[in-house]
Amino acid sequence: MRRSAWVVMTAVTVLALGAPVEPRSAAGSDPASDVRAMVRTILDAPEVMSDVVLERSDPFGGDPDVERGKLWYLPGRGIRFKSSRTHGHDMVVDHPKEKFYLYSPNENVIYEAPFEKAPARIRKLIEDPDRVLEKNFRAVEQSRIIHGRSRHGYQILSTGLGDSLTSVAIWVAPDPSTRQLHWLSISTPADSLLIELRALTIRKKAEPGHLTLSAPASATVQPLDPREMLGRESR
Amino acid sequence: MRIAQVLCALLVASGCAHAPGASGGAEGAAGKAARDRFLTSFALVEPATRGAGMLSVHAGAYSRAGMNTRWASVRDSVAVVAYVGPVRALDAVLLGESAFVALRPYGLALTGAVPKGEGLGGRGLRFLTRPWDFSPPWVREAIERAKVEPVDGGGWRLTGQFEDAKMTHDFVLDLNDKSEPLRLRIQHDGDERSLALVRYGPVRRFDIGRRPQWVEWTRGTTRARLDIEEHERAKLAAIWHAPPPDPDWTVLSLDDPRGRELLHRLLGVIDEVTP
């Protein structure tokens, strides 16, 4: 469960990194500043809600898989993604409760782990987004064809996060009318994920209840614990 | 003339007296024809292929249903990626004799060479990850050597042995009356316990040819089922490694008894190892 969430949130983290002085766009603006402005409104918001379309490439050359859902991000509190698919999953990282949840409707099971089991960058994004903003990154303008239409956006060149992002290529693009973040592409040598944020809403007040799983009362809770898989000796 | 008729009757009776199979007689010929039809359809060397489907896995405490799964197969390599919702949950890669399995939600990975001398080994694992492909020479030859018997109600049972220099594994392959695979049971020589049981769903035509709509693997309490939605040729020259595990993962080597035990639980393929 964690990796895609990690990728998504890492990308958001990358977008939130601070802006250096180079390079500049033809219009004279600083691409990194443009990106920073695009993302700053998200990181500074009490809460952000958005419909999300995830388009994941087939690592072996088949048609991409498309999944729709809803995203809630409450800086300082947590993150939730709920799939709109029939039997789609519901995932919550909740800092005040110190929990990381995944609800599987197919099994009617809530998988539960401590907050610290969530990926470090997701935790950082939740706990201290301002600190993330202190970092530096570089960006250049780049247009891409998305679903047959050219979209003006920005390729993130370097992140300041170092190691694990060296093999990850990130591209972002705003909604031309609102200038808010709308497209986010994360590519690795193995596959890529294109995220479209539709109807992005910046809320003036956070609603912690949005971090509540949709699981019914009948759902059972199981730990998300690798020790269960390791046999008798490790139990 | 009378002597010739008697001899002829004796010959026929002699043929009929044999156990039904490929060794002779009308049933033997029919069985051989059924096997030939099976080999013609399911033992052709597959080019690079890819597929997509839904996977469910139940292995001890681990249970997942509805995993969107993609796989690819090129020569002696197989790669499988499974997603739970938007999340990449499982990677399993076999590159020759090397295996890498990652349970991403658990922060858990297995890596190393498939131990020789255990279970079916690397070639057996590769076969079991694509059990609709009976083209590997050691599989095809074993089927060609197998005894063929009719099954009550229609269909055929092929009984034989997979062999290599060190080990022998008995197998029973059931075909329906169209020579399509129904069930494959593999066990250690002289051991009643199944090393692996594969069940095949109805065959339908995919881009790659006629293949089962679903496949189910069982060993002990481990059960996995793949409902196949796409199966086609892939434009792949090679399989690449899965994304590496994160630094905070638990990575077990297949040299580690815990790693081997976990592989047993997940794939239900190689024999139990006492830590």
In this predicted structure, which of B77-81, B118-122, B130-134, B172-176 has the lowest mean pLDDT? B118-122
Task: Report the range out of B45-54, B170-179, B244-253 with the highest average pLDDT.
Answer: B170-179
| Share above pLDDT 70 across residues of chain B, in percent, rounded to a whole number | 76
Residues of chain A with pLDDT under 50: 1-24, 26, 160-166, 231-235
Task: Find the CB nearest B88 among A3, A117, A232.
Answer: A3
- Token pair for residue B229? 């939605």
Nearest CA in chain B to A63: B52
Q: Which residues from A are below 8 Å from B88, CB to CB?
A: 3-4, 191
Q: Which residues from A are below 8 Å from B274, CB to CB?
A: none
User: Which residues 153-192 of A are in CB contact (within 8 Å) with B?
Assistant: 164, 188-191
Nearest CA in chain A to B230: A62
The pLDDT tens digits for B108-147 are: 888 888 776 666 778 888 898 899 999 999 999 999 999 9
ipTM over 0.95: no
Quick one: pLDDT at residue A234?
Answer: 35
Q: What is the mean pLDDT of residues B191-205?
A: 86
Task: Tell me the pLDDT band of B191, cut-offs 50, 70 and 90.
Answer: low
| Residue B105, CA atoms < 13 Å, CB-side half-sphere | 28
Question: Is the confidence at residue B167, as pLDDT, over 70?
Answer: yes
Question: Does the beta carbon of B86 lie under 8 angstroms from any beta carbon of chain A?
Answer: yes
Q: Which residues from B are below 8 Å from A117, CB to CB?
A: 107
Quick one: pLDDT at residue B33?
Answer: 95
More confident residue, B104 or B227: B227
Quick one: pLDDT at residue A191?
Answer: 77
User: Which residues 17-36 of A are in CB contact (within 8 Å) with B?
Assistant: none
Contact B203, B179 (CB under 8 A): no
Q: pTM for this structure? A: 0.74
Quick one: pLDDT at residue B198?
Answer: 95
User: Which residues 1-60 of B are in CB contact (within 8 Å) with A?
Assistant: 50-52, 60
Q: Where are the beta strands (DSSP E) in chain A?
A: 47-56, 65-74, 78-83, 90-94, 99-104, 109-114, 138-146, 149-158, 169-174, 181-187, 192-203, 220-223
The pLDDT tens digits for B13-35 are: 333 333 334 445 666 889 999 99
The 8-class DSSP code of residue A229 comes to G
Q: What is the mean pLDDT of residues B180-193?
A: 82
Cβ-defined contact of B236 to A61 (cutoff 8 Å): yes
Distance from CA of A61 to the nearest CA of B (A): 7
Contact residues for B131 (Cβ-Cβ < 8 A; gap 6+): B184, B198, B200, B215, B217
